[in-house]
Amino acid sequence: MPIFPDFLPKLIASLTESTSISYAQNIHSQSISTPLISLPINTTFLSKGQGSTPILLLHGFDSSIFEFRRLLPLLATQNETWAVDLLGFGFTDRLPNLKVNPGAIATHLYHFWKSLINQPVILVGASMGGAAAIDFTLTYPEIVQKLVLIDSAGLKNNPIISKFIFPPLDYFATEFLRRPQVRANISRAAYFDKSFATLDANLCARLHLEMPGWNKALISFTKSGGYGNFQQKLHLIQQQTLILWGENDIILGSGDADKFEKAIANSQLIWIPSCGHVPHLEKSQVTANYILDFIREK
């Protein structure tokens, strides 16, 4: 019987795929002090591997570090690799009275980095994590050596759900997102090859919903307006940037990929064929190879 960290939900015991089980067993929690609140924030992360420049992986909206269960082990064969649950998401503590917004997420991420990594990183963001990575790169440019965006958000305005985030619809909107069938449908939509949407994959995508304060943190973040549109700021990114995009992404579509490449001066776009919104899950080896090659480039 696998033994899992006790800060993870009991539902974790229902995982069936060896990749997910092994990944869960290696998740850690660290108390991170920040200026956001007097209490330390118990922050969940996973780190593995060795290398000169660490890779730091940032997950998408209403997601967790489980999003990188296939990619992180591949990157870690050649490089020190970290994944962290952003403030308000995943299994990181959602403390009462702590507002979740892009500024707070960046501050928390900085203090996590300062406490545990404390050297420049290759920053990798997927979907909303891409927007978080862009925001962090603009805020703390000295920390980010190179940037990788995977089917990234950051060129759209407020998410549609924000229209429904006011009482009492805020509660009903999050409870709708909590429904297993809704989560399963979202999971299927993320993949081009629907065979990846297994029961285990669906469970990985909704485990964090069992954490205390999940709905309140999601409401807080959405009310803040989220990351919005970085179009007018992308030219400020000086770091060499790799843009990876699934050719069959029906979540964000394909139009933003070219816009990112045109707006970020030192960037290259690589399309991943027969792949949906989550190349790091659906084409994990291909994605890992592109990232590792990109790191080796001078």
Domain ranges across the chain: 43-296
The CATH number of 43-296 is 3.40.50.1820
Residue 162 has pLDDT above 60, yes or no: no
| Mean pLDDT confidence for 259-263 | 97
| Mean pLDDT confidence for 4-20 | 96
Question: What pLDDT does residue 277 have?
Answer: 97
HSE-CB at 152 with a 13 A cutoff on CA atoms is 35
Comparing 96-100, 172-176, 264-268, 284-288, the range with the smallest average pLDDT is 172-176
Question: What pLDDT does residue 168 have?
Answer: 45
Residue 30 has pLDDT above 90, yes or no: yes
In tens, the pLDDT along 54-82 reads 999 999 999 999 999 999 999 999 999 99
Question: What pLDDT does residue 272 have?
Answer: 98
Question: What pLDDT does residue 179 have?
Answer: 83
HSE-CB at 64 with a 13 A cutoff on CA atoms is 28
| Mean pLDDT confidence for 216-238 | 92
Tell me the C-alpha distance between 113 and 51, whole Å. Answer: 16
Tell me the C-alpha distance between 169 and 183, whole Å. Answer: 19
Size of the chain in residues: 298
Question: What pLDDT does residue 160 have?
Answer: 45
What's the start-to-end Cα distance of the chain, in Å?
46
